[in-house]
């Protein structure tokens, strides 16, 4: 692993600094112009759900002074970054500046109106569910050395199966089990083709996506459309955690969600601990880094990869079931809308770590929820353009990682036992 030379660091500092100053110029010139006398109200309470025992007052901020203040802060920090630099903390500092820029944008976008902050944050959490679970699937597979491009296909197979099983049985729990098994089945296909037959793993992933898209579309037209009763699954309702759910802001944000949200958070914690605090995780990571050495010390490389890929498919199956048992309440063709690929990006941004993947999923989920909030605020941006926000953010974030991401050493490399 190479280290950056001083000229490289200087160029990086200047680039980050100029980028921050550009953000400051936009915040000052656009967000503070023509907004004199206007104010934005940030509503911090759950106005759509159950009332909490205590409430928080609405936060009213003047648009122009707030935008100018944030622009000055961003510009000052950017100037320091360009001249001196923050060293290893530069990425964290730039992330904070991006957050301040987004805050300035929100103040401007909701000028003269009320922004439902809690609704935006709850929407972020819900939108992050399939992204985080899909990213976890990718982490499990790629830490074991198998590239999983097929997350989108696992989502579709699980969403269809969950809707069908739940509709037929009247139980969302059985639907969830069906979705998990469907995701595991796609994972098993990926494992057999990639591990046993040593096919190109990226090609296999794309083929499985096309297969899942075609099969679910065909079965929808032949089975679900003629029989609407088979596409009316029982959905998971919101579960409020006693006492914790009544805490202002935090309660509705974290403790008033459906089962799938809690399962996502639990899965992140379990996989994080399993990967980095158990012998199983150590062996799985060894298989993904140096399979020959792992085989030498007695680790069953192929069996470990099989288990990791199938388990990853089952985790993605929970994310697929979310679409029909929580978000939409029915299956429709290609309803995952490319979120399997965003989940892959979350895995990369999270640097193959479950906790990091959750953080990245929340960022992309925020972009998704923000596009919905901006449509409600009627900011004058075309709705079709707003819908592209999650994908644009994904491209920009991943582009920033080019050349700076270390993948598992044996990722994508078939292993042949000697």
DSSP 63-94: HHHHHHHHHHHHHHHHHHHHHT--GGGHHHHH
Q: Which domains does the chain have, with CATH numbers?
A: 6-112 (no CATH), 119-399 (1.10.3470)
pLDDT above 50: residue 134: yes
Give me the pLDDT at residue 319, please: 97
Give me the pLDDT at residue 2, please: 44
* Mean pLDDT in residue range 392-399: 77
Give me the pLDDT at residue 85, please: 82
Give the distance, in angstroms, between the CA of residue 341 and the centroid of all CA atoms in the same chain: 10
pLDDT bracket for residue 401 (50, 70, 90): low
Average pLDDT, the chain: 90
Instruction: Count the Cβ atoms, other than its own, within 10 Å of residue 179.
Output: 33
**Tokens matching residue 112:** 């003269």
pLDDT bracket for residue 293 (50, 70, 90): very high
pLDDT above 80: residue 9: no
- pLDDT tens-digit series, residues 69-121: 999 999 999 999 888 888 778 778 888 998 999 999 999 999 989 999 988 99
- pLDDT tens-digit series, residues 172-208: 999 999 999 999 999 999 999 999 999 999 999 999 9
pLDDT above 60: residue 402: no
DSSP 178-237: HHHHHHHHHHHHHHIIIIIS---HHHHHHHHHHHHHHHHHHHIIIIITT-GGGG----PP
Q: Where is average pLDDT lowest: 101-115, 139-153, 345-359, 401-415? A: 401-415
DSSP code, position 31: I
Q: Which residues pair with 40 in a beta bridge?
A: 61
- pLDDT tens-digit series, residues 335-394: 998 999 999 999 999 999 999 999 999 999 998 999 888 888 887 777 777 778 778 887
pLDDT bracket for residue 400 (50, 70, 90): low
Q: How far apart are CA 135 and CA 155, in angstroms?
A: 12
From residue 59, alpha-carbon distances to 99, 122, 385 in Å are: 18, 18, 29
- pLDDT tens-digit series, residues 241-254: 888 888 888 888 88
Give me the pLDDT at residue 1, please: 40
From residue 335, alpha-carbon distances to 163, 223, 399, 417 in Å are: 12, 17, 26, 41
Greater model confidence, 67 or 37: 67
Q: What percent of the chain stands above pLDDT 90?
A: 68
pLDDT bracket for residue 52 (50, 70, 90): low
Give me the pLDDT at residue 234, please: 93
Contacts of 318 (CB under 8 A, 6+ apart): 133, 158, 176, 179, 180, 183, 260, 263, 264, 267
């Amino acid at each position: 692993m190479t280290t950056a030379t001083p000229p490289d660091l200087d160029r990086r500092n200047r680039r980050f600094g100029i980028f921050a100053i550009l953000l400051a110029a936009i915040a000052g010139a656009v967000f503070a112009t023509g907004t004199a006398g206007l104010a934005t109200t940030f509503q911090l309470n759950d106005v759509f759900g159950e009332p909490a025992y205590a409430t928080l007052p609405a936060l009213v901020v003047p648009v122009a002074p707030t935008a100018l203040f944030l622009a000055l802060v961003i510009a000052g920090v950017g100037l320091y970054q360009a001249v001196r630099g923050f060293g290893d903390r530069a990425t964290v500092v730039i992330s904070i500046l991006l957050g301040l820029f987004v805050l300035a944008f929100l103040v401007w976008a909701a000028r003269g109106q009320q922004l439902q902050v809690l609704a935006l944050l709850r929407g972020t959490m819900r939108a992050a569910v399939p992204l985080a679970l899909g990213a976890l699937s990718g982490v499990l597979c790629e830490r074991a050395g198998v590239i999983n491009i097929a997350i989108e296909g696992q989502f579709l197979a699980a969403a269809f199966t969950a809707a069908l099983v739940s509709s037929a049985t009247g139980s969302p729990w059985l639907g969830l089990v069906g979705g998990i098994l469907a995701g595991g089945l796609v994972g098993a296909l990926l494992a057999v083709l990639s591990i046993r037959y040593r096919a190109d793993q990226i090609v296999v992933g794309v083929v499985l996506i096309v297969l899942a898209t075609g099969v679910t579309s065909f079965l929808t037209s032949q089975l679900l459309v003629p029989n609407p009763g088979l596409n009316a699954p029982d959905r998971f309702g919101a579960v409020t955690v006693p006492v914790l759910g009544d805490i202002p802001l935090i309660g509705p944000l974290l403790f008033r969600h459906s089962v799938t949200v809690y399962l996502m958070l639990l899965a992140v914690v379990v996989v994080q601990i399993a990967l980095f605090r158990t012998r199983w995780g150590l062996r799985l990571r060894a298989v993904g880094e140096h399979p020959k050495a792992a085989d030498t010390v007695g680790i069953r490389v192929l069996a470990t990869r099989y288990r990791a890929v199938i388990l990853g498919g089952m985790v993605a199956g929970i994310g697929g079931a979310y679409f029909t048992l929580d978000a939409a309440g029915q299956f429709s063709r290609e309803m995952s809308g490319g979120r399997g690929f965003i989940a892959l990006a979350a895995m990369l941004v999270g640097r193959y770590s479950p906790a990091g993947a959750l953080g990245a999923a929340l960022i992309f989920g925020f972009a998704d929820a923000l596009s919905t909030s901006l449509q409600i605020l009627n900011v004058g941006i075309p709705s079709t353009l707003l819908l592209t926000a999650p994908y644009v953010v994904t491209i920009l974030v991943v582009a920033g990682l080019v050349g700076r991401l270390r993948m598992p050493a044996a990722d994508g490399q078939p292993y042949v036992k000697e």
